[in-house]
A and B are shown apart, each in its own frame.
Chain A
Amino acid sequence: MSINKTALLISRIGRVMSTWESEHLSQGSPKFDIDENDKVNLYNMRFCPYSERTVLVMLAKNIPFNMVNINLKNKPDWFLQSTPGAVPVILHKEKIIPDSLIACDYLDEVFPETKLHPQDPSQKAIDRVFVGKQSSMMQFLYPIFAKIPDKDVTYDEKLVFFEKLVNHIEGFETELSKRGTSFLGGKESPSMADYMIWPFFERVDCLPFLIDDKFALPSSLTHVNAWIKGMRETKAVKEYGMSPKRLAKATAICNELADYNKAMKETVGL
Chain B
Amino acid sequence: YFIQSNLRLARVMSTWESEHLSQGSPKYHISDDNKVHIYNMRFCPYAERTVLVLLAKNIPFNIVNINLKNKPDWFVESTFGQVPVILHKENIIPESLIGCDYLDDVFGEPKLHPKDPLQKALDRVVVEKQSGMMKFLFPIYVKIPNKIVCYDEKVEMFDKLVDYLQSFESELGGRGTTFLGGEESPNMADYMIWPFFERVECLPKLIDEKFTLPSSLVHVHAWMKAMRETKPVKEYGLSPERLAKATSISMEFSDYDKAMKESAGL
Contacts and interface: CB of A to CB of B under 8 A. Distances in A.
Q: Note whether A and B form a binding pair.
A: yes
Interface of A: 84, 92-93, 95, 97-99, 102-103, 105-106, 109-110, 121-122, 124-126, 128-129, 132-133
Given A125-B91, A129-B94, A102 B118 contact: no
B118 A110 contact: yes
B93 interface: yes
B117 A125 contact: no
11 contacts: A84-B129, A102-B121, A102-B124, A102-B125, A110-B118, A125-B98, A125-B99, A125-B102, A129-B93, A132-B95, A132-B98
Interface of B: 80, 88-89, 91, 93-95, 98-99, 101-102, 105-106, 117-118, 120-122, 124-125, 128-129
A122 B118 contact: no
B128 A102 contact: yes
Given A92-B118, A125-B99, A129-B95, 9 more contacts: A95-B118, A98-B125, A102-B128, A106-B117, A106-B120, A109-B120, A110-B117, A121-B102, A128-B98
A97 B121 contact: yes
B8 to A, nearest CB: 25
A104 to B, nearest CB: 10
B101 A125 contact: yes
Nearest to B86: A125
Contacts of A129: 93-95, 98
A97 B102 contact: no
5 closest A-B pairs by beta carbon, nearest first, are A121-B105, A109-B117, A106-B121, A125-B102, A122-B91
Contacts of B118: 92-93, 95, 97, 106, 110
Contacts, number: 58
A132 B82 CA distance: 14
Residue from A102, A110, A126, A132 having most chain B Cβ neighbours under 10 A? A102
Contact of A97 (B93, B95, B122): B122
A99 B101 contact: no
Nearest to A98: B125
Given A92-B118, A129-B93, A121 B106 contact: yes
A95 B95 CA distance: 28
Most buried by B among A98, A126, A129: A129
A97 B125 contact: yes
A83 to B, nearest CB: 11
A105 B101 CA distance: 12
A98 B124 CA distance: 10
Contacts of A106: 117-118, 120-121
A132 B94 CA distance: 11
Contacts of A105: 121, 124
Contact of A125 (B80, B93, B122): B93
A105 B124 CA distance: 11
Contacts of A110: 117-118
A78 B121 CA distance: 22
Contacts of A126: 91, 93
Contacts of A128: 95, 98, 101
A124 B105 contact: yes
Nearest to A105: B121
Contacts of B120: 106, 109
Contact of B102 (A92, A122, A133): A122
A237 to B, nearest CB: 25
Nearest to A110: B117
Contacts of B117: 106, 109-110
Contacts of B89: 122
Contacts of A97: 118, 121-122, 125
A99 B128 contact: yes
Nearest to A95: B118
Which of A92, A106, A122, A126 counts the most B-chain CB atoms under 10 A from its CB? A122
